[in-house]
C-alpha cells in the first residue's frame, strides 16, 4: 500500500541534543512538508520541499533543518537551537504544485519529548 | 492572506444527534477548501474537499460540507453522530498555484452515549 511512514513514533531528546525525524513516502509525490502540532494551535508549517534538492522555510523554521536528497525522503532535524521542541510532528506529501485540488497526505506523526 | 477560522474548539453532541462543525475562510481568490479528521496519536485523514464543481460536497463516513460564498463558510455536518466520530477536525484552505495550505486551530468533537 502506498503511504507515508514516519519514524520513530515516540522520541526523547536530552537538552542540547540534535535529533532527526524520518519521513518516507512511496506515493511518488513531488512535494513534501513538515508540520508541528501543539494543542489548540492547529498545524504550523516548518519546512516544505517541492522538488529534490530544494526546500523552503515555512512559518516556524528557526531551530529546524531539513534535506531532500531523494524524492521519497524528507528528514527533519530538530537542533539544540529549538528551545521548545516538545510537540507532535507531522510529515505530509502531495502531487506537484499547480493542482490546488490535490490534498496533502499525512503520516502518523512523531511525538517528541524533552527528557 | 488566506486563512480559515474554526468556531468552537470543543463541540459535544449526543450519539444520533446532528454534528455541525463551523469553518469560515478568508480569501480574495477562489478558495480550495478541505476538511481533515485526526484520531488520537495519528496523522490527518482527508474527509472531503471543495472543488467548485458543486457547493454541497459529500465525504467519507457520512460527512458533508456546504460551500457558501456569501457567508465565506464551509461548515461540516453529519446528520447522526456515532461514537466513532469522536476525534479532532481541521478545516484547511489552499491557495491556487501555491503549495501553501493553512489549517484552522481544530475542533475536538466529543460524542456522548
Query: pLDDT by residue (tens digit) across B30-69?
Result: 788 999 999 988 999 999 999 877 889 999 999 999 999 9
Give the SS3 label for residue B83.
helix
Round to the nearest angstrom and report the end-to-end CA distance of chain A.
35
Separation between Cα atoms, residue A110 and residue A74, nearest integer Å: 14
Question: pLDDT tens-digit profile of A67-78?
Answer: 999 999 999 999
In terms of Cα–Cα distance, which of A70, A69, A89 is closest to A78? A89
- Give A86 or B2, the one with higher predicted confidence: A86
User: Does residue A2 surpass a pLDDT of 90?
Assistant: no
Q: Which among A35, A92, A108 has the least Cβ separation from residue B42? A: A108
Interacting residues of B69 by C-beta distance below 8 A, sequence separation 6+: none
Gap between the Cα atoms of B107 and B91, Å rounded: 9
Q: Which residues of chain A lie closer than 8 angstroms to B34, CB-CB?
A: 103
Question: Quick one: average pLDDT of B79-85?
Answer: 97
Q: Give the 3-state secondary structure of chain A.
A: CCCEEEECCEEEECCCCCEEEEEEECCCCCEEEEEEECCCCCEEEEEEEEECCEEEECCCCCCEEECCCECCECCEEECCCCCCCCEEEEEEEECCCCCCCCCCEECCCEEEEEC
Q: What are phi and psi of B15, to 5 degrees?
A: -60, 130
Closest-CA residue of chain B to A42:
B105
The mean pLDDT value of chain B amounts to 91
Return the bridge partners of A94, or none: A31
Whether the Cβ atoms of residue B108 and residue B88 lie closer than 8 Å to each other: yes
Please say if the pLDDT value at position B97 is more than 60: no
Query: What does residue A36 show for φ and ψ, rounded to 5 degrees?
Result: -115, 135
Query: Does A98 contact B44 at a Cβ distance shorter than 8 Å?
Result: no
**Which residue does chain B place closest to A37, by CA atoms?**
B105
- pLDDT confidence tier of residue A114, bands split at 50, 70 and 90: confident
Task: State pLDDT tens for residues B98-113.
Answer: 567 889 999 999 999 9
Residue of B nearest to A88 (CA): B41
pLDDT in tens, B84-93: 999 999 999 9
Amino acid at each position: 500500500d502506498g503511504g507515508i511512514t514516519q519514524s520513530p513514533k515516540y522520541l526523547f531528546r536530552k537538552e542540547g541534543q540534535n535529533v532527526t525525524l524520518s519521513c518516507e513516502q512511496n506515493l511518488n509525490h513531488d512535494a513534501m512538508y513538515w508540520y508541528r502540532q501543539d494543542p489548540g494551535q492547529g498545524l504550523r508549517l516548518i519546512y516544505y520541499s517541492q522538488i529534490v534538492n530544494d526546500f523552503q522555510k515555512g512559518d516556524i523554521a528557526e531551530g529546524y533543518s531539513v534535506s531532500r536528497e531523494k524524492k521519497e525522503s524528507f528528514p527533519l532535524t530538530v537542533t539544540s537551537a529549538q528551545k521548545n521542541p516538545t510537540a507532535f510532528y507531522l510529515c505530509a506529501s502531495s502531487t506537484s504544485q499547480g493542482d490546488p485540488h490535490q490534498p496533502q497526505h499525512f503520516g502518523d506523526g512523531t511525538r517528541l519529548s524533552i527528557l | 492572506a488566506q486563512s480559515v477560522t474554526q468556531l468552537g474548539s470543543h463541540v459535544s453532541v449526543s450519539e444520533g444527534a446532528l454534528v455541525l462543525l463551523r469553518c469560515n475562510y478568508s480569501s480574495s481568490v477562489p478558495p480550495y477548501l478541505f476538511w481533515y479528521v485526526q484520531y488520537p496519536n495519528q496523522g490527518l485523514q482527508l474527509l472531503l474537499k471543495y472543488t467548485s464543481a458543486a457547493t454541497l460536497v459529500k465525504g467519507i463516513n457520512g460527512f458533508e460540507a456546504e460551500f457558501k460564498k456569501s457567508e465565506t463558510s464551509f461548515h461540516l455536518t453529519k446528520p447522526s453522530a456515532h461514537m466513532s466520530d469522536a476525534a479532532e477536525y481541521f478545516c484547511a484552505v489552499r491557495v491556487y498555484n501555491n503549495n501553501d495550505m493553512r489549517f484552522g486551530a481544530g475542533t475536538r468533537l466529543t460524542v456522548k452515549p
